[in-house]
Copies of this chain bind each other. A is one copy, B any other.
Amino acid sequence: MSQQPPIRTAGLRTQAVGHASLRRANLALVLRHLRDEGSCSRSDVADATGLHRATVSSLMAELIERGLVRELGTARAGAIGRPRRAVALDGSHVGALGMEINVDYIAVHGIDLGGRVLVERRIGFDAMGEGPDRSLVELGRVARKAIAEMRRAGAAPGGIVVAVPGLVDIGPGVVTLAPNLGWDDLPLAERLRAELGGFRAPVGVDNDANLSALAEFTSGVAAGTPDMVYLTGEVGVGGGIMVGGRLLRGADGFSGEVGHLPVNPAGRRCGCGRTGCWETKVGLAALVRAATPERAYELGAAASPDPEVRMKEISRALAAGEPRTLAAVAEVGRWLGLGGSILVNLFNPRVIVIGGYFARLAERLIPPAQAELERLVVAGPAARCRFLASNLGFGAASRGAASMVVDHIMDDPAAIGFGPATARSSVGSL
């Protein structure tokens, strides 16, 4: 039962090719119309879309079958003629499951198409220590539990997307390289489908920063801002880029790799082997190194002891006005602005959302970062771009993953692969 194609997360097809894809495009057109306009009759939909009424009826029957649309009974009767039956988007019978596997946890965020949160959970898990095989077993276990809960709530997932901190080949859903998990060339989508047995809806994999960017665009501080960049500061620095309301993908899905931008060829050697990467200036290790008086920190040592403990020390030192720490944070802010200027010169976003540890120090990072950005951007104040701190915290990636499943269903309602009845009947196999 793993023949379902993975979720292809590239941009919308803008051109119909042949009848089958035309029908899929029209299903999406009708579904979107209902989402945007609320309830209406089949005739309203036909008038608004220019589609033939018989076509609309047939599309509507399929959408009802798939649990995406419901009849509202007789409504909006015309002054003359037959009363018209209204239909509406039904968000409650189809779910979207977002997951994240990261260095020390697995997170799930399961919603229905109406946005109601059905499952939200974060489980401590040492992915690096456990290795890819045991990680997949655990990921499968957590997914099965979430799917079962969502089904009990009446909204079987119409797809799953998993967020991973690394390079992902989104076509086949293969993790090309995830250094912090110790994974390379892991066919995650295929392996997770195998773990899930009878699960018939598509399974996709994507980069965690990409999905966090999507979450910020969907429901975070940059909600509705079509051109925006998301940056996450951890030991590494990740990025996700929205262009015209869509995630930037590139030819292989490897776009947005901001951490190793060469910003200072005369600078420090990076953990990746290159010199002067942006991470060596703004990653958590760089901050800790600059803020710590003794040479207690060397490259690569930042992950242990606990970064969380180090962050608390830094926050305490900032509150106490410790000069070295204040200077270190201001310096990170300036380099954040310098790297930000690269992003603004190239992408011209309206907002750069900062997450991870950047968000926790935002109050002190943003002023120097914003000043440096404005000094360096070629278009100057004409390219209005502001740094904003994320308020989604942990969970942004799994939330973005769920949102990607929703987008995918709205783009291609036929891909969910089953109606609610079928879904219920296969619960037993999980």
Contact = CB atoms under 8 A, between A and B. Distances in A.
Contacts of A379: 167, 176-177, 252, 254, 257
Given A12-B14, A36-B15, A384 B252 contact: yes
A348 to B, nearest CB: 2
A57 interface: no
A345 B167 CA distance: 11
How many copies altogether? 2
Interface string A326-346: 000000000000100111011
A172 interface: no
A249 to B, nearest CB: 7
A272 B384 contact: no
A266 B266 contact: yes
Contact of A257 (B50, B239, B346, B384): B346
B348 A250 contact: yes
B22 A265 contact: no
A50 B32 contact: no
Contacts of A34: none
Interface in A205-263: 226-227, 239, 241, 243-244, 248-263
A19 interface: yes
B265 A264 contact: yes
Contacts of A394: none
A169 to B, nearest CB: 7
Contact of A255 (B250, B265, B346): B346
A157 interface: no
Nearest to A375: B274
A16 interface: yes
A2 to B, nearest CB: 24
- Highest count of chain B CB atoms <10 Å: which of A55, A255, A266: A255
A364 to B, nearest CB: 22
A405 to B, nearest CB: 19
Interface of chain A, helix or strand or loop or mixed? loop
B167 A378 contact: yes
A383 interface: yes
B26 A252 contact: no
A263 B260 contact: no
B376 A262 contact: yes
Contacts of A255: 346-348
Interface string A164-184: 000101000000110000000
Interface string A271-299: 01010000000000000000000000000
Contact of A176 (B249, B376, B382): B382
Contacts of A254: 345, 348, 378-379, 382-383
A269 interface: no
A204 interface: no
Interface in A132-176: 167, 169, 176
B263 A265 contact: yes
A350 interface: yes
Contacts of A167: 378-379, 382
A10 interface: yes
A11 interface: yes
24 contacts: A11-B244, A15-B36, A22-B49, A26-B50, A50-B55, A176-B379, A177-B379, A244-B249, A249-B348, A251-B348, A251-B350, A251-B385, A252-B383, A252-B384, A256-B346, A258-B345, A259-B378, A260-B345, A262-B263, A262-B338, A262-B376, A274-B376, A342-B346, A346-B346
Given A248-B347, A250-B383, A251-B384, 14 more contacts: A15-B36, A16-B49, A22-B48, A51-B51, A250-B347, A252-B348, A252-B384, A260-B378, A261-B342, A261-B345, A261-B346, A262-B338, A263-B265, A264-B266
**Which are the 6 A-B pairs with shortest beta-carbon distances?**
A250-B348, A257-B345, A227-B251, A254-B379, A255-B348, A254-B348
